[in-house]
Structure 1
Amino acid sequence: MIVSVSATAASAAETVLRRLSLVGRTRAGLSEALAEIGVPEKERRMRVGQLWNWIYHYGVREFDAMTTISKGLRGQLAERFSLDLPTVTAEQVSTDGTRKWLMRMPSTGPHDRGAEIECVYIPEVDRGTLCVSSQVGCTLTCTFCHTGTQRLVRNLKTEEIVAQLMVARDRLGDFPNRQPPEGAFVPNDGGRFVSNIVFMGMGEPLYNFDGVRDAIGVITDDQGLSLGRRRITVSTSGVVPQIGPLGEEMGTMLAISLHAVRDELRNELVPLNKKYPIKDLLEACRNYPGLSNAKRITFEYVMLKGVNDSDAEARELVRLLKGIPAKINLIPFNPWPGTKYECSDWDRIERFSEIVFRAGYASPVRTPRGRDILAACGQLKSETEKLSARARLMLDEAQAAAPAVAAE
């Protein structure tokens, strides 16, 4: 099911330079905003704490709702800033409950329509996982990945990464006193809908290291969004120099997009391997800070028919990972228009999994989720391009309909 946002969502007001949103900012960023409107330095720490609680714990969308802040300061904030979230251009709901949102970030000027990215929410029995993007497009050109066929536009800012979680919680009714939509996963332990985050959307997170690091700082702050670092997984295709700093500065779980056990094949599937070959990548994994049986690395391995799915490759995978506390996540290939690859047959996947499991590694086969809406692993892109054109048309129509507003 596809729910497209009406033309009003691309209203004429969006064609004007927006007041900058405070949503997604770090504590330092909020302090800078308060300084801009003349709040004394000695008062800012308290005011930052108040804003933080209202924005990230309660998810309020209007400054007037911040009843612990004086009316005068609320007015000053509203004149200069907003609490806008990215515009959801379209929402798609899979038959399995997976939701994919196409989001357009707030524009920064009259000629900027804002970056567009995709974000996916996957409800499960015991958790709700949000797959977030870290870049607009991707630069890695992995041949089996649809996202990799889209050119890199730019890194997402910290605010834009955090805002994806804010949109998800807002639309799922995941803030206090909000109602969830029909069919939403309801936690049975009193927790929130979004309990886990994976940086596995569009882009390579470790090529946006500072933005991802600062976003994780906001997301894990226990006075606001309050997700534990052990519930956040950062997935990389193998940016070796940044793997150690990731563990030291972020302390999250690590996932490696491996997909091959020989450099020759990985060079083709994951061209980044030419710069950081398998030996160097696995050495960085062995030295990952905090690595233990309780904090294992997940190795992602997409199953490609006749390419990387033989018994010999399963045994070589086990040999390569010897001594690394690890889980091997086998991913049935998710097809997309124009790909040259096919998914391995199910009995071949099971045989590969059995070899890995008998060697002592957990080797779950990831259940494909959201395939019908191109929201599964490696599929993010095509709907973005198609719906982007629709969003641009809506925006152009709004501009034509309200020239007076645009000129203000």
Structure 2
Amino acid sequence: MTATAPITQDVMTIPRKAPEGLMPNLIGMTREQLRAALVAQGTPEKQAKMREGQLWQWLYHWGVRDFAAMTNLAKEYRAMLAEKFVIRLPEIVTKQVSADGTRKYLLRIDGGHEVEAVYIPEEGRGTLCISSQVGCTLTCSFCHTGTQKLVRNLTVAEIVGQVMIARDDLQEWNIPGETKREDRLISNVVLMGMGEPLYNFDNVRDAMQIVMDNEGISLSRRRITLSTSGVVPEIARTADEIGCLLAISFHATTDAVRDQLVPINKKWNIEALLAVLRDYPRLSNSERITFEYVMLKGVNDSDDDARRLVKLIKGIPAKINLIPFNEWPGAPYQRSDWARIEAFSDIIFKAGYASPIRTPRGEDIMAACGQLKSATERGRKSAKAIAAETERG
């Protein structure tokens, strides 16, 4: 297979100057980068691997942020670390808790930008939905997050930091001297928040490698799902370099409709997308691909759409998540009637595919799919500006 260059966009290729005097952040460094940073500060090469392992465990297994508490390191070494490095996570601006237990975190990152992460508790599991970009560039017409301009990619530290902050809030870290915890409140991580993960491939890959590392947070690759709108050249790289489960924001069964709902389809159409997806389960050793399908009244929810969907994905190990549209002020679409969603699901199920209907979660705090950051941004705008946006629709 011919290697392809990483998919980037102009706004992402401009290097950002770090604030003057800012010490290197240990969070987000890969193991190799951490080791090199320690050597650069005088750690002997023969000791560097051991020191790297010790620090890694303190950061990602115990969740410790204070160098002074890292008691298996010499006092002088801890002092050097405190002088040369920082352990820095995004800052929690607000935390909202829904009536159904969903938690939404508004996080401030470098530059004063803000992103959101959402924790969704369920019976026997808990899913953390994290963001990969500030804003989004894809302008999917049904998604309120997509109405916000792309600002920049998140760094590795900012992606991993979302997981660490949620673990802080849920008090999920292991405690030094106590038996390792077997219960996992965060049992799954999904890259389904703000942004297109495959337009920030390298940072997402490195962040997920940290999350999957067995000596740290230790989430299995089968517990991580990356959702993409269909950046075709990067899907094979995802299989090879991350190996996580894959979800596709599909949402339509004809190019004409998908061009409107998911404009990236104009670059890589349904045929091109499905061609690369047929190889993904084999390349990544994944069991199946999830197709996400938002149900829009009178747009993509007919029996004919359901039958076309079954034909399109024939031969691909898959399940289809049907997502009732989460409406937002000024949205150009309506949620399909429940009876219509169930009829659509029944056709898919009878064709041999799992077709669960996703229960909307966190709607009362604008934490549902496609709503992230919306309430925050709208809260800062005048009523006149909101009315104008709604009128333009």
- Alignment check: 8 A CA contact 1:129 1:195 kept: yes
Match of 2:38 among 14, 34, 37: 34
Instruction: Name the structure 2 match of 1:68.
Output: 72
Amino acid at match of 1:198: V
Instruction: Name the structure 2 match of 1:98.
Output: 102
**Would the alpha carbon gap of residues 16 and 293 (structure 1) be closer, same or farther in structure 2, given more than 3 Å must change?**
closer
2:359 is aligned with 1:367 = yes
Give CA-to-partner distance per residue, 1:61-102, whole Å, 9 cap, x none: 200110001100101111122222211000011100000101
Instruction: Name the structure 1 match of 2:161.
Output: 163
**How far has the Cα of 1:20 moved from its partner?**
3.6
Instruction: Name the structure 1 match of 2:208.
Output: 216
How many Å separate the matches in 2 of 1:345 and 1:248?
A: 40
How many Å separate the matches in 2 of 1:239 and 1:203?
A: 12
Within a 5 Å distance, the mapping from 1:348-387 to structure 2 comes to 348-385=340-377
Structure 1 length-normalised TM: 0.85
Instruction: Name the structure 2 match of 1:196.
Output: 188
Q: CA RMSD in A?
A: 1.9
**How far has the Cα of 1:160 moved from its partner?**
1.1
- Alignment check: 8 A CA contact 2:240 2:284 kept: no
Within a 5 Å distance, the mapping from 1:3-42 to structure 2 comes to 18-42=22-46
How many Å separate the matches in 1 of 2:317 and 2:330?
A: 37
Uncovered stretches (5+) of structure 1, i.e. residues with no partner? 1-14, 179-188, 390-408
Aligned length: 359
Instruction: Name the structure 1 match of 2:52.
Output: 48
Instruction: Name the structure 1 match of 2:137.
Output: 139
- Alignment check: 8 A CA contact 1:94 1:372 kept: yes
2:220 is aligned with 1:228 = yes
**How far has the Cα of 1:348 moved from its partner?**
0.4
How many Å separate the matches in 2 of 1:205 and 1:97?
A: 26
Instruction: Name the structure 2 match of 1:152.
Output: 150
Instruction: Name the structure 2 match of 1:346.
Output: 338
**Would the alpha carbon gap of residues 388 and 210 (structure 1) be closer, same or farther in structure 2, given more than 3 Å must change?**
farther
Amino acid at match of 2:348: V
Percentage of matched positions with identical amino acids: 61
Amino acid at match of 1:71: K
**How far has the Cα of 1:352 moved from its partner?**
0.3
Give CA-to-partner distance per residue, 1:26-76, whole Å, 9 cap, x none: 112212331342212221111000000000000002001100011001011
**How far has the Cα of 1:292 moved from its partner?**
9.4
How many Å separate the matches in 2 of 1:292 and 1:75?
A: 43
- Alignment check: 8 A CA contact 1:292 1:325 kept: no
Match of 1:298 among 290, 295, 309: 290
How many Å separate the matches in 2 of 1:266 and 1:344?
A: 17
Q: Secondary structure at the match of 1:82?
A: coil
Instruction: Name the structure 2 match of 1:87.
Output: 91
**How far has the Cα of 1:116 moved from its partner?**
1.5
Match of 1:245 among 237, 241, 245: 237
Match of 2:171 among 153, 173, 198: 173
How many Å separate the matches in 1 of 2:379 and 2:92?
A: 11
- Alignment check: 8 A CA contact 1:206 1:239 kept: yes
Structure 2 length-normalised TM: 0.88
**How far has the Cα of 1:388 moved from its partner?**
7.6
More moved, 201-210 vs 73-82: 73-82
Q: Secondary structure at the match of 1:368?
A: coil
How many Å separate the matches in 2 of 1:16 and 1:177?
A: 35
**How far has the Cα of 1:141 moved from its partner?**
0.3
- Alignment check: 8 A CA contact 2:135 2:151 kept: yes
- Alignment check: 8 A CA contact 1:263 1:278 kept: yes
- Alignment check: 8 A CA contact 1:116 1:384 kept: no
Amino acid at match of 1:147: T
Give CA-to-partner distance per residue, 1:193-248, whole Å, 9 cap, x none: 11101110000011111111111111111011100001101110001111111111
Q: Which has the higher contact order (CA 8 A, sep 6+)?
A: 1
